[in-house]
Amino acid sequence: MGKPQIDPRAKEALRLQFCEHNFIVPLRLDGRKLTLMAAHPNNYDTDLALAPLRSKYDVEVVEGTESEVQEIINANYYSRCETCGIKIELGRQMCQGCIDALQHAPPSPPIPQTPVYYVPPQIPTPAAAAPETEGVKAGPAMIGKTCPYCQTPIKPGERIQICGSCGIPHHLECWRQNNGCTTFGCEGADSMLDPSPQPVYMPPQQFQPPTPQGAYYPQVAIKDFFVESLLVTLFCCLPFGIIALVFSSQAKSRLSVGDYVGAQSAANSAKTFVQIGLGLALATAFISFISTILSQQ
């Protein structure tokens, strides 16, 4: 059986980052009825991620495995680069790294113009040096991904090496230091062993104006204050605790779709109402304690 094809109208309802992060993929859109496939349909995180969609569509969720969801995403959102074979967005023929490599390739030497009456001697021309095949510049699809060797994100303009077996990007220096892929269990690990490494001579650097890049927000851990909000609701102040729970749920929902600014704002609001509820509870307890002492005198 072939891979299911996504309805183009349903595909516009969800972003690729949302689909891969939550293992959810759209299948069909019929009027307001949106049919989705989710790997964890009864999960609390899945319900939070689908909450914004339920306000716009009549959502129907079909259960599937993670491998089935990823297979549909790969078939409908991605293709393969014609040059290096890595996964790229659908509709493109080459990855950004290969495009940059072709744009910076040295131009061919001009053909000398010789007179018609002169026959130049047949001098064999030296073979052109083979272009560098190891490493490409990081394109937009690779920027921000973590190198498994040094555990730091890949930055714009850095040269990277992509494993042909698992597709994980590495810094080129990390790839050389480890002599291959550093991913545990990958078939490409130790595939680049070189018993006699040769010194690498880098060409002189030329200044180039920086390429403008889009805004990039690193994935950071944002505390949603859910536990604190629940404790304030149960033991301190019910109204402010409920408000804190609402903001805590909004922070978790926005973080799941990649809205880090909105998630941080909601988390700060939840923290504020937790502090207000706790302060009121302490003030009430103190006043009750003083009143009890005064009444006994």
Q: Of the ranges 75-84, 202-211, 215-224, which one carries the lowest mean pLDDT score?
A: 202-211
Q: Which residues contact 189 (CB under 8 A, 6 or more apart)?
A: 180, 181, 182, 183
Query: Angle of helix 260-296 relative to helix 238-256, nearest 10 degrees?
Result: 160
In this structure, the answer to whether residues 73 and 157 fall within a common structural domain is no
Report yes or no on 41 lying in a domain. yes
Q: What would the two tokens of residue 240 be?
A: 């402010």
The pLDDT of residue 57 is above 70: yes
Give percent of the chain with pLDDT exceeding 70: 76
Its sign, for the CA torsion 138, 142, 148, 153, is positive
In this structure, the answer to whether residues 97 and 65 fall within a common structural domain is no
- Strand pairing of 159-162 and 136-137? antiparallel
Q: How confident is the model at residue 130, as a pLDDT?
A: 38
d(CA 48, CA 64): 18
Domain around 48: 8-77
- The residue that leads in pLDDT, 88 or 67, is 67
Report yes or no on 172 lying in a domain. yes
Average pLDDT score, the chain: 77
Report yes or no on 119 lying in a domain. no
Report yes or no on 243 lying in a domain. yes
Q: How confident is the model at residue 194, as a pLDDT?
A: 47
In this structure, the answer to whether residues 16 and 70 fall within a common structural domain is yes
User: 278-297 burial by CB neighbour count: b if 16+ within 10 A, else e?
Assistant: beebeeeeeeeeeeeeeeee
In this structure, the answer to whether residues 98 and 180 fall within a common structural domain is yes
What is the average per-residue pLDDT within 209-236?
71
Q: How confident is the model at residue 286, as a pLDDT?
A: 92
For residue 55, give the CATH number of its domain: 3.30.300.160
Alpha carbon 174 to its chain centroid, in Å, reads: 21
What is the average per-residue pLDDT within 151-176?
86
Q: How confident is the model at residue 8, as a pLDDT?
A: 76
Q: Please give the C-alpha separations between residue 1 and each of 4, 5, 116, 257, in angstroms, as whole numbers.
A: 9, 12, 65, 32
pTM for this structure? 0.29
Sheet harboring 159-162: ordered strands across?
A: 136-137, 159-162, 169-171
In this structure, the answer to whether residues 97 and 72 fall within a common structural domain is no
In this structure, the answer to whether residues 99 and 62 fall within a common structural domain is no
Domains identified in the chain, total number: 3
DSSP state of 110: P
For residue 145, give the CATH number of its domain: 3.30.40
Specify the DSSP element, H or E, that contains 60: strand 58-63
Confidence of residue 107 (pLDDT cuts 50, 70, 90): low
In this structure, the answer to whether residues 98 and 165 fall within a common structural domain is yes
3-state helix, strand, coil in the chain (%, to 5): 40, 10, 50
Q: How confident is the model at residue 90, as a pLDDT?
A: 65
Boundary of a domain, candidates 164, 191, 218: 191
In this structure, the answer to whether residues 186 and 146 fall within a common structural domain is yes
Q: What would the two tokens of residue 277 be?
A: 């509820």
Q: How confident is the model at residue 128, as a pLDDT?
A: 47
Is 65 in a helix, a strand, or coil? coil
d(CA 228, CA 235): 11
**Contact between 171 and 135 (Cβ < 8 Å):** no
**Contact between 222 and 264 (Cβ < 8 Å):** yes
